[in-house]
Amino acid sequence: MPLTKTIFRQDCLKKIKNSPKHNAMYKNAKLNNQLLYEISKFKNPKVLCYAPLPFEPDIRKTINTIRKKCDIFVPFMEGESFKMVPFRLPLKKKKFGIYEAGNTLRNIKKIDIAIVPIVGVDGRFQRVGFGKGMYDRFFAKLKKRPYIIFIQSEFCYTKEFICDDYDVTCDLIITPNFKIKNKTIDTRARNRK
């Protein structure tokens, strides 16, 4: 039976949810250190982050550290996608158990870096997420592609090409144990108008 995105997603979620909890703080600390290093390469960037769910990498340390120098945004669910809103406390628990900042009238269209949680990644460095397609719809609306960093607490990868053409591709994957740069990304896509 050929590998499908649905089967791969289920296998990755099982791996993530069954990973040892005793070293979660250590893994998150390593992820945050690597993430801070990558963000430091940009001068005062506008960064899209996420409010972590219990089984996603906890990037709150990174958010707290970069708040002083960067404009930080988080997703605010709207229909089948989301818009970016400024990160401000308190966050409130919303749909799918996701924490969100309050809504805003601002129409934010440009970011420099997007930090995206993933379930897995395929042979083209395309994101396998939770199956709702929200990030795919969001990135399709942006005029300029930001530098995209995928974050993963347990590396879940397949060499197969199981994703669809519209699935988001990253520039960099960060796990607790290593970083993988996507050398195949088309730089012309980054400068798309």
pLDDT tens for 32-56 read 999 999 999 999 999 999 988 888 8
Superfamily of structural domain 5-190: NagB/RpiA/CoA transferase-like (3.40.50.10420)
What phi and psi values does residue 126 have, to the nearest 5 degrees?
Answer: -95, 145
- Closest residue by Cα to residue 93 from 107, 77, 106, 109: 77
Rounded Cα distance, 160 and 143, in Å: 29
The ranges assigned to domains in the chain are 5-190
Mean pLDDT by 10 residues, the chain (193 residues): 88 90 91 96 94 88 92 84 83 76 79 95 92 85 92 92 91 93 63 39
Q: Which residues make Cβ contacts (< 8 Å) with residue 7, sequence separation at least 6?
A: none
pTM above 0.75, yes or no: yes
Cα–Cα distance measured from residue 144 to residue 5, given in angstroms and rounded to the nearest whole number? 27
DSSP symbol at 102: P
